[in-house]
Amino acid sequence: MRLRLSALALLAALAGVLSFVLLVVAIGTDFWYVIDASRLERARNSSEALSSHSGLWRTCSFRSKCFPLTNPFWHENANLTASHKQLLHMHGTFVILLPLSLILMIFGGMTGFISILARAYLLLLMTGLLFLFGALVTLTGISIYIAYSAAAFKEAICLLGTKNLLLELDIRFGWSLVLVWISFIAEVVTGAAFFLAARAVGLKRRREQFVQQFGEPARRNPWITPGLDDKTSKGVRGVATRPLLESATVTGNMSRDTRGVKGSPLNESPRLSGSEEKAPGGWQSLTFKHTTALNPATLLPEPGPPCHDCLEVCCTLAEPPA
């Protein structure tokens, strides 16, 4: 079943808006990385809040205020270890990539709106590529953040010197990272929808070019030669053509002396009398002329004036049995 262009445009719009909103919410929230220390608090009977959750810009305690993370682009303390510098570089990388994906989605939304209204094939294709590139940027940022969390976890183990304390902690990724994954999937769906819309526009354009060059194919009756109207088709007695002749060019004058069809139109392609020559485009030029009536029993021309309408006979034979 072919998807209509309006349905593809609606799908692209909904998926694009969903991806943008979810990514904005994820970047602005602080539940990317959650450390649950409730078991440690109960074991030590401590009233101090040890659990925390962090985002891209700050880390917060469940019971106290939030503290900003170290600026990855500028920091006063130059006496940092190589592992700390690596963590800062990774932090700065995904902090740049995720907002960059938002900017790409904004430009993609503008170009997509224009391309849908104009039904421009190349602009639709470019919009799909833009959204897929934005999805790739989002995926790269997510991957770097996961690697950053793993490296920070190893650094914490090295600083503590023991893993016994970590056994009482529940460390996991939060729902903000889940929103980013959903945003990534929606962004891919948006790019795919624009690609399908570009394909639909391209197919429609090629069909219109074909119709302008060769004419609209016959749809009412497969036995009627394209290029002839109903009156002309009824006047050509005994001529029944199959869809194999849809690309033929109809030329020449009609006369009553030439006999036309030999063979059954239901079993094989008819052989038409008259002159045949090659057209400049490589198509065969056929000349249709008036013929005498066909005998419905033998389907051969018979002398004398026509006593039946061959077009009605062919339509009757072509109808499926009730």
Cα–Cα distance, 65 to 73 (Å, whole number): 24
Cα–Cα distance, 28 to 31 (Å, whole number): 9
The per-residue pLDDT for 272 is 43
The per-residue pLDDT for 269 is 42
Helix, coil or strand: residue 262: strand
The per-residue pLDDT for 16 is 94
Residues 6+ apart with CB under 8 A from 182: 18, 22
**CB atoms closer than 10 angstroms to residue 201:** 22
Cα–Cα distance, 283 to 224 (Å, whole number): 19
Cα–Cα distance, 6 to 97 (Å, whole number): 32
Residue for token digits 């490589």?
Answer: 282
The per-residue pLDDT for 289 is 58
DSSP string of 16-75?
HHHHHHHHHHHHH-S-SEEEE-HHHHHHHT--S---EEE-SSEEEESSS-EEEPPPSS--
- For residue 134, what is the enclosing H or E element? helix 121-160
Nearest to 86 by CA among 147, 157, 166, 171: 147
Nearest to 190 by CA among 289, 104, 294: 104
Q: What does R_g of the chain's alpha carbons equal in angstroms?
A: 37
pLDDT in tens, the chain (322 residues): 356 888 999 999 999 999 999 999 999 988 898 888 777 767 677 666 677 888 888 888 876 678 888 778 776 656 777 878 888 888 889 999 999 999 999 999 999 999 999 989 999 999 999 999 999 999 999 999 999 888 888 887 777 666 666 677 778 888 999 999 999 999 999 999 999 999 999 988 888 888 888 766 544 444 444 444 444 444 444 444 444 334 343 444 433 344 444 444 444 444 444 444 554 555 555 665 555 666 666 776 666 665 666 667 667 766 666 5
Instruction: Please tell me the pTM assigned to this model.
Output: 0.62
* Tokens read off for 162: 């023991």
Cα–Cα distance, 125 to 112 (Å, whole number): 9
The per-residue pLDDT for 143 is 94
Cα–Cα distance, 150 to 158 (Å, whole number): 13
Residues 6+ apart with CB under 8 A from 6: none
The per-residue pLDDT for 251 is 41
Amino acid at site 188: V
Cα–Cα distance, 53 to 29 (Å, whole number): 10
In the chain, what is the straight-line distance between the N-terminal and C-terminal CA atoms, in Å? 29
> What's the burial of 197, exposed, middle or buried (CB within 10 Å: 0-12/13-18/19+)?
buried
Could you tell me the domains of the chain? Answer: 5-213 (1.20.140.150), 230-318 (no CATH)
